[in-house]
Structures are given as C-alpha cells and as structure tokens.
Amino acid sequence: MFTVLKWVFWATFWTLVVAVFHYTLPQVDIVRVTDTYEKRIDPGENSLFWAQADVGSDGTMANRDVFFIQTRRVKGDVMVYRNEDTGWGWPPYFKFDTSNLQAEAADAKSTNEAPRYFALKHYGWRNEFFTIFPNAISLRQVEGPEASKGIPFLNIFIITLFAAISWAIWVRWRRFRMARIDPTLEAIEDDMAERRGAVRRWFGTWKKKT
Amino acid sequence: MIGFIRLFIMLFVALTVIYVSLSFYSRAVRRSKLKKKWHDGKQLVDRDTFVQRGLERYDGSIRRKLILGVYVVPVVVIAVIIYLTNFT
C-alpha cells in the first residue's frame, strides 16, 4: 500500500513540475495577426493565470483593462493572446514594453487576401473553460506560413539544468541514505528481533515444565 | 518600484545564503587540500602551522574574491533578459 502511495506522490509531483515548465517556458507560434483590442477583465478564480497591472500603475485595483491580440495560426485555428507586463514578478521575462508590443501588433494586422506572417513568442495556456490566455512576449515578421520556429535553445538549457540539479540532489540523497539511514534502520530491526526473542523466552519460563 | 525592491531584496537574501555557504565550503576544501599537501610533503613545520599559513594565504587570494561573482551573475542575467525582451 505504501508503494502505491509513493508512486502516486511522485507521479503528482512530476506532473506538476512538467506543467509549470510547460506553462512558463516560451513557445513560438507562426500566426497572422487579425485584430487587437482592449478589454476590461475581472480576475476571479483564474487570477493565477493573469499577470498584474502595468509596472508603475496601481496594482491593487480588482479589475483593469488588458490588451489582447487576435490571430489566426497557420495550423488553421484561431488563437487569442493577452498582452500584459510581467514586470519584476513571475515569470521572469521582465516584460515592460506591453504598450510597444501592442503598437507592433496593431501594425502587423493583415487580411487573408494579403497575409503577413509573424512568429509570436508567448508563454501560458489558452483554456476556454477558465478564460485564460497565453501572454504574448514578442512579435517578429517571418517570410511565410512555412517559416521555421527555430530551435528553442533557452528551453533546452533550462530543462537540462533542472535535470542536472535534480539528479545531483537524488544522488546525494541516496549516498546519505546508504551511509546514515540504512545502518540505523538495520540496527533498529536487529534490536527488535533480539527483544522479541527475549520476550518469547520469558513467556516460556511460565509454561509448565513437563 | 515596489516590485523592483521586492525582487532585489529576495535576490539579495538568497544570494547571501549561497555566498556564505559557498565561502565556507570553499575554505573547507582548501583546508583539506592543505592537509593532504602537508602529508605528502617534506613536513618542515607541524601540520597546524602549515595549514594555518596556507589558509591565511588563501584568505587574501583572488579565488576567494571570485566567489563574489555569485552576486554579479544574476544581476547581469536579468539585465540581459531585460534588454532582449524590451529592446529588440
């Protein structure tokens, strides 16, 4: 039973780690920008997935206006991105130029007849059930819908670094366990076995001697 | 402004912990290396004096001062991120 519990715990832990990385690390989409707008939003249950007010503004207001960028992805579906400052907070993109990016997005609008394609770097998830949007970070014009997204060097580096650190911690934990904890547990078990033998012998002294 | 201050206070505390731990660890490694060097060498003085002198030389060395790089590196990384995100 404890094995099952252990597996459930570690599975949950690693799922959470993978989810955090998938949400936070940057991804690129090749899109055609169709429109930009601004909308007042009231973060409620989903406030974890909204950033904060632009750096320098009042951060305590419950609802605020947020920029959005509407696009059609080359995959064929539509995608709506929000465009918010991450400021000095998490994730550490240090994005302060939201309004500039919005201006670039407005300039990037094109129609289906005369399309212009852009590589939009973003992080976050789109989930209609919670009304959360990925956060656009930057826009870069590309030649066409077949343009490559590029190799995600930063993602590779961060994930490799994390894997290395986890492995280092695990190895040190194993060494510590073998050096300290296992001998102690064995000593306890030997101790208990000895005492069980002693109790049984004491019970034996009460039996009738035939 | 408050966000900036908060970030840099947290960073300062975390980096100070790392700096102090790294300093102690580095000095302990230097001490054990000195002991081994004494053991393998001519042993003109007793071990404690040898180790003490070696540690004093280490305390003034460049290697020790390089550990301050722990403060420099994250600030440089943040500056580079800010430049790449906002100005390209």
A78 beta partners: A72
A138 within 8 A of A26, measured Cβ to Cβ: no
* pLDDT tens-place string over residues B51-70: 999 999 999 999 899 999 99
pLDDT score at A60? 74
pLDDT score at A89? 86
Q: Which two tokens stand for residue A205?
A: 């002294």
Distance (Å) of CA A76 to CA A17, A102, A175: 30, 23, 52
**Better-predicted residue by pLDDT, A189 or A126:** A126
Element (H, E) at B15: helix B2-40
Q: Does A137 touch chain B (CB under 8 A)?
A: yes
Q: How far is A202 from chain B (nearest CA, A)?
A: 53
Expressed as residue numbers, the domain containing B53 is 2-86
Q: Does A95 touch chain B (CB under 8 A)?
A: yes
**Better-predicted residue by pLDDT, A29 or B41:** A29
pLDDT band of residue A208 (cuts 50, 70, 90) is confident
In this model, does residue B41 exceed pLDDT 90?
Answer: no
Residues comprising chain A, all counted: 210
| End-to-end Cα separation, chain A, in angstroms | 45
* pLDDT tens-place string over residues A116-141: 999 999 999 999 998 999 999 999 99
* pLDDT tens-place string over residues A153-177: 999 999 999 999 999 999 999 998 8
Instruction: Pick the residue from chain B with its C-alpha nearest to A87.
Output: B3
Q: Which two tokens stand for residue A210?
A: 């035939």
Contacts of B6 in chain A (CB under 8 A): 88
Contacts of A51 (CB under 8 A, 6+ apart): A84, A85, A86, A87, A89, A135
pLDDT band of residue A210 (cuts 50, 70, 90) is low
pLDDT score at A195? 83
* pLDDT tens-place string over residues A98-115: 999 999 999 999 999 999
CB contact under 8 A, A92 and B6: no
Neighbours of A134 (CB within 10 A): 21
Look up the ipTM and state it.
0.76
**Better-predicted residue by pLDDT, B81 or A184:** B81
| Segment A59-77 mean pLDDT | 88
pLDDT band of residue A78 (cuts 50, 70, 90) is very high
Instruction: Pick the residue from chain A with its C-alpha nearest to B87.
Output: A97
CB contact under 8 A, A92 and B85: no
The CATH code of domain A26-148 reads 2.40.50
In this model, does residue B2 exceed pLDDT 80?
Answer: yes
Distance, CA of B35 to CA of B50 (rounded, Å): 8
A38 within 8 A of A68, measured Cβ to Cβ: yes
Q: Does B81 touch chain A (CB under 8 A)?
A: yes
In this model, does residue A193 exceed pLDDT 90?
Answer: no
pLDDT score at A36? 95
Cα Dmax for chain B = 62
Q: How far is A13 from chain B (nearest CA, A)?
A: 24
Contacts of A55 in chain B (CB under 8 A): 3
Q: Which two tokens stand for residue B44?
A: 């003109």
* Closest by CA position to A73, among listed A122, A31, A125: A31
> Which of A47-61, A96-110, B44-58, B65-79 is least confident?
A47-61
CB contact under 8 A, B7 and A89: yes
Distance, CA of B6 to CA of B2 (rounded, Å): 6
CB contact under 8 A, B78 and A55: no
Q: What is the DSSP string of B25-73?
A: HHHHHHHHHHHHHHHHS---S-HHHHHHHHHHHHHTSHHHHHTTHHHHH
| End-to-end Cα separation, chain B, in angstroms | 23
How many domains are contained in chain B?
Answer: 1
Residue keyed to tokens 């840099």:
B8
Distance, CA of A53 to CA of A60 (rounded, Å): 8
